[in-house]
Each structure stands twice: as C-alpha cells, then as structure tokens.
Amino acid sequence: MDVHYHLDYMDAMSVNMERRFHHSKPYEKRFIGWEKERLKVYEGAIADKFDTLTAISEPDAKILERLCSKPITILPNGVNEDFLEYQDVPAKKYDLIFTGNMGYHPNIKACQYLVEKLLPIIAEDFRPLKLCIAGTSPSAEVRDMANENIEVTGFVEDLRPYLAASKLFVAPLFSGSGLQNKLLESMAMGIPSFTTRLVNNALGGTDKEEIIVCNDMETFAKRIIALLENPQEAERIGQNGRLFIQKNYSWETYNLQLEQLLNK
C-alpha cells in the first residue's frame, strides 16, 4: 500500500524569528539571528520528506515556497461553531481585551505596547478604562501590569465569557507569523477588533468594515476612542467581522479541503 506523507508547516517560523530579532534586546539578537538561519535551512530541507505541504496563510505559504521550491496549499485555521453561537453579554465589564499565550514573545510585546503606550494616550480622553489581559502563562512583565483597572487572568478554562464581557478587542502585534486565532475568535463573537497591517495581511479583513487596521499609536488611540464613543458603529463593525469569519474561516469548509488533499 502506498503511504502518503503530509506536512502542515502552519507558519514560517524563520520569518517569526526574523521579526522577533527587530524587537529584541541587544544581548538576545545574536541567538535569535542564529535560530532564524537554522530555521530557514530546516524549513527548506524538511519538505523533501513529504508528498504534500500546507500552511495557514498566503504570506507564509509564499515565504515557505521560496525556501523549499515546492507548491504549498493554503489551509487556514478555522473557528469552532461555539464561538459563532455564543450569546452576547449586554453589560460589559471591560472596555478592551487582549488574549493569547502571555508567555509568547510577540504577545508580551503587544501587552507592553497596549499598556505602556496606548492606554496613557486613550486615558487622556476616555477614563476610567478597564482592560483584560486573558491567557495562559503570563510572563513576569505581564503579571506586573495588573492593577485596579487592568486584570491579568492567567489560564482560564474558557475565553468566551471574557470576550463577551468586552467592548473591543485590541491586538497590537508587530511581530510573529501565521494566522492569529485570537482574531478569529474575537471577530466570530461579534466583538469589534483592532490589529496591525502585519496580522491583517494573513487574515484579509476589510479595514473599517470588518476589522480596524492600525500601524501607529496615534491611529490606534484615535480609532479606539471613536468606537468606544460610538456603540452603533462598533456594533456594525463587530457584526460585519462575525459574518466575515463565518463566511471565510469555517472549520467545516477547511476540514473538507484537508480530506480532499489527503485523498489525492
């Protein structure tokens, strides 16, 4: 019987390291630079051992194809129906929320950007402001951010109640790679979501319609304040985002595509 070998790269980890290099402390850069080059060699060489290859976003697939010189099928992550069907909470406990593995370098940097740079600007016009940082393994830097207006949850069994209790989802990610599940989850629940151009390149949402894309502090702060002060506009973007995820990131669709790929 013929055996079919399939590899899901998910994302281009060598590019993840390259982006991390530019956001790292000087003493870290030598080691991250080494790891980036090692990963490039590995990602190129490992492809020869497999018959078919997939990645979760077009940007990652293009990078990996250059490294391995083989075609890569795009097979994105999807969203569980439980997120799409979760009931909204009318009374919001938090103004902003950010979720993820809080021991992961890009998420730590995003928390620092959110707390140290964005919140002081937003607080000049909009206060009191309640922020929830929800996710497993918060680093010491993230834990130290907790105060009366910032809740750092650590691991939670279910993120949905925290997302549902939040007005806006903000993911100021300037490094990392792949397709961000955190955005799929927040948008699936109808929460107006903010992120960077880097992240939206993989997601493919329409700015100001399905998602809000920002790339500097002033734009982030201005647009966050605008939606906090305009619930009707926030609701419109949130519902458009939910429909976008339902249409483009259904598990049912991509499970079928994976079956078809393996059956070939």
Res 253: pLDDT:
74
pLDDT, tens only, 99-154: 999 999 999 999 999 999 999 999 888 878 999 999 999 999 999 999 999 999 99
What tokens appear for 131 in the block? 């922020």
Widest Cα–Cα separation across the chain: 68
Q: Model's pTM, two decimal places?
A: 0.91
Alpha-carbon gap, residue 141 to 18, rounded angstroms? 22
Res 176: pLDDT:
83
- Averaged pLDDT for residues 73-95: 88
Per-residue pLDDT band for 250 (boundaries 50, 70, 90) equals confident
Question: Does the structure show a pLDDT above 90 at 21?
Answer: no
Give me the phi and psi of 186, to 5 degrees please: -65, -45
Instruction: Spell out the domains of the chain, with CATH numbers in brackets.
Output: 6-75 (no CATH), 81-248 (3.40.50.2000)
Q: For residue 89, give the amino acid letter.
A: V
**Straight-line distance from the first to the last Cα atom of the chain, in angstroms, rounded to the nearest whole number:** 14
CA 115, 116, 122, 128 torsion-angle sign: positive
Per-residue pLDDT band for 1 (boundaries 50, 70, 90) equals low
What tokens appear for 12 in the block? 């281009």
pLDDT, tens only, 177-203: 888 999 999 999 999 999 999 999 999
Chain mean pLDDT for the chain = 93
Alpha-carbon gap, residue 247 to 34, rounded angstroms? 40
Q: For residue 152, give the amino acid letter.
A: V
Per-residue pLDDT band for 230 (boundaries 50, 70, 90) equals very high
Question: Does the structure show a pLDDT above 70 at 156?
Answer: yes
Alpha-carbon gap, residue 91 to 112, rounded angstroms? 27
Alpha-carbon gap, residue 81 to 136, rounded angstroms? 22
